[in-house]
């Protein structure tokens, strides 16, 4: 195996390939040969920070650390945003390890490791096995956008409730589908009326253009703001 590989860093508002050494794997580390990666707005935010870009990756496990038990060479794995935590603090022990003071997440540390590159090095418990019936190109965006919207919904939404989704972009597409699968009535609010057909195909029961909501049938129980900016709340 080559001792170096290509990653893509943001430099002067452009994304450029650079070479980085392939590290020695730790006991719980997994080397993933990237085949697919999603593109997130967070990647664009870090273009001028000279870090390895990409955090929605899926690929094939090519090597594993000595203590890895949940993956084997040849498996498909996905991950990229939340890389590790201490596994000992109150947050970690209560399932809230994203708040761990020793966490490693994209953009805060691990700056030579991104899913736009040829390889991604992940920790065993922070990678996800990809089901055989899911295409890699569909699984990649779930590693960040999917996790973000799912976590926002799963702890608060109950079947039969009305969930509003503002914005039918990358996050909004997923929020509509997740909420529908959770048994909610999904109400979509958009700045553009031409998104209605798409919203309804994804599972929306109702659709309204922001500022034209006089016919809103009933209030929503939960509102997910999935647009690129906050709406004008006075509308």
Over residues 72-107, the pLDDT tens digits come to: 999 999 999 999 999 999 999 999 999 999 999 999
**What's residue 197's pLDDT?**
94
What are the chain's domains? Answer: 4-140 (3.90.180.10), 149-225 (3.40.50.720)
Instruction: Please give the average per-residue pLDDT across 45-71, as a whole number.
Output: 96
pLDDT (tens digit per residue) in 194-215: 899 999 999 999 999 887 777 7
CA angle (170 as vertex; 168, 174 as ends), nearest 5: 80
Q: Where are any strands of DSSP class E within the chain?
A: 4-11, 14-21, 29-37, 57-64, 76-79, 82-84, 104-105, 119-123, 128-129, 162-166, 185-190, 206-209, 222-225
Q: What is the mean pLDDT of the chain?
A: 92
223 CB-contact burial (10 Å; exposed 0-12 / middle 13-18 / buried 19+): middle
Q: What is the pLDDT of residues 142-169, one digit of tens each?
A: 999 999 999 989 989 999 999 999 988 8
**Is residue 31's pLDDT more than 60?**
yes
pTM of this prediction? 0.87
**pLDDT at site 235:** 60
pLDDT at 11: 82
């Amino acid at each position: 195996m080559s001792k170096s590989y290509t990653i893509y860093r943001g430099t002067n508002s452009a994304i450029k390939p650079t070479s980085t050494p392939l590290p020695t794997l730790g006991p719980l580390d997994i080397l993933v040969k990237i085949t697919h990666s999603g593109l997130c707005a967070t990647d664009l935010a870090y273009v001028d920070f000279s870090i390895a870009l990409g955090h929605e990756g899926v690929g094939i496990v090519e090597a594993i650390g000595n203590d890895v038990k949940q993956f084997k060479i040849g498996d498909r794995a996905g991950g990229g945003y939340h890389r590790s935590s201490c596994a000992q603090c109150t947050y970690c022990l209560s399932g809230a390890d994203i708040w761990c003071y020793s966490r490693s997440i994209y953009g805060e540390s691990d700056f030579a490791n991104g899913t736009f590159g040829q390889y991604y090095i992940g920790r065993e418990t922070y990678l996800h096995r990809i089901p055989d019936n899911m295409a890699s190109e569909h699984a990649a965006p779930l590693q960040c956008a999917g996790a973000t919207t799912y976590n926002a919904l799963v702890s608060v939404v109950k079947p039969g409730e009305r969930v509003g989704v503002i914005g039918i972009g990358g996050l909004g597409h997923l929020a509509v589908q997740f909420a529908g699968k959770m048994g909610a009535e999904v109400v979509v609010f958009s700045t553009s009326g031409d998104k209605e057909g798409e919203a309804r195909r994804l599972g929306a029961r109702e659709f309204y253009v922001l500022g034209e909501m006089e016919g809103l049938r009933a209030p929503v129980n939960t509102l997910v703001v999935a647009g690129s900016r906050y709406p004008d709340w006075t509308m």
